[in-house]
Amino acid sequence: MSEKKDLSKTHWQKAILCVDYNNLFGVISQRSENDQPDAVVLDLIKELKRHVSENLRLKPIRTLGFSSLPPSHVQGHRATGAWLSMGIEPRFTYASAADEASAIDLAMEAAELGRETGPDTAFILLSGSRWFVPLVQRLQRRGHFVLIAALENPNHTDHLPEDCRDAFLNAEFLLRGPGRKLSPLAQGTLDSESELDSKKPLETFPITDEVVRRTLEVIDSYFGQYEEIYLTPLLRKLSEEFQDSDDDPKALINDLEESGAVWLQKRRGFPHNYTVLMMNEDHPDVAELKEARLQAPDDSYEDDFYDDYADPDDESVEYLEEDDADYQE
């Protein structure tokens, strides 16, 4: 039996989020059919902050938004009025949208903050297609954890300097719901997650085992409202549900994978990569469960199982459980 971690001694890092707004707005405007790209940008910022807090266990203490003034598009101009309500500190540059002055401002201020803060402060950079490699390297040399979340990423890690190959996160998975998905790039989608992700199953097979079917029902009941399901709390819940049997939660998930009902994806994270489970709504058993929930008089899901799990200030919760060890890099 392994020794329990002393979470009272765990130190959670602070994080500063720098948003390359001009570039982000431009990429979303070009690749989304949504007529309010400004709203998509703001949703992406919210989702990234949630991801940083819940998955990376980093506490965002500042969010800086870098843009030209005035923005070239009236919707971009309208969006900046919502920044203050979201706690985004505006950094405006008198330049055209095509000018890279705001990106230069971002790099200069982030580098300055990197000198002023210690290694316990992480830097999260959000952009559309800029990679900020020199900035990433400079901050890493000063001991900071750096993550560049971009919508268009390097196609292969060998396209990058070796010291920053693990710093990239494909931010497209944070875009959820109708009108949020981006159209593919003309020359193919660049994906820095390609080495980590498995893809949606192309084949599906009916689930005939009652225990495996029950597993799918538990997943849908407690986590079905989420597009992606964090593997650690899922394994914990399955262990509770099947504690009186000899069924192994990881083996049950493997059975669901083999049927094509779910698939697993890796995500880049701090201090390690982590795993999420995705439900395949094209699978007949999954579709049946979703349809039954819609038709039920009370289609509400079970209590939010993530409430305790996702609170970075709750030291009673152990995020890195042994059950998830086989899925981590």
Residue-level pLDDT at 223: 87
Three-class secondary structure of residue 20 per DSSP: strand
Q: Is the peptide bond before 37 cis (omega within 30 degrees of 0)?
A: no
Return the C-alpha torsion angle 127, 26, 38, 164, nearest 10.
-10
State the DSSP code for 98.
T
| Averaged pLDDT of the chain | 77
State the DSSP code for 23.
H
CATH ID of 12-174, from 1.20.1110.10, 1.25.10.10, 3.40.50.1010, 3.90.800.10: 3.40.50.1010
- Between 34-48, 169-183, 309-323, the lowest mean confidence (pLDDT) is in 309-323
For residue 321, what pLDDT band results from cuts at 50, 70 and 90? very low
pLDDT at residue 64 greater than cutoff 80: yes
Residue-level pLDDT at 208: 93
Average confidence (pLDDT) over 103-126: 94
Residue ranges of domains in the chain? 12-174, 210-327
Residue-level pLDDT at 6: 37
Reported residue count of the chain is 329
State the DSSP code for 197.
B
Residue 88 forms beta bridges with which residues?
A: 63
CB atoms within 10 A of CB 19: 27
Q: Is the peptide bond before 271 cis (omega within 30 degrees of 0)?
A: yes
Q: What are phi and psi of 147, to 5 degrees?
A: -130, 125
Alpha-carbon gap, residue 42 to 294, rounded angstroms? 30
More confidently predicted of 39 and 318? 39
Q: What pTM was estimated for this model as a whole?
A: 0.58
Alpha-carbon gap, residue 228 to 273, rounded angstroms? 15
Query: Percentage of the chain surpassing pLDDT 70?
Result: 71
For residue 280, what pLDDT band results from cuts at 50, 70 and 90? very high
What does the pLDDT look like over 217-276, one tens digit per residue? Answer: 999 988 888 777 888 889 999 999 998 888 899 999 999 999 999 999 877 665 566 788
pLDDT at residue 137 greater than cutoff 90: yes
Enter the CATH code of domain 210-327: 1.10.10.10
Alpha-carbon gap, residue 57 to 15, rounded angstroms? 10
pLDDT at residue 316 greater than cutoff 90: no
More confidently predicted of 312 and 107? 107
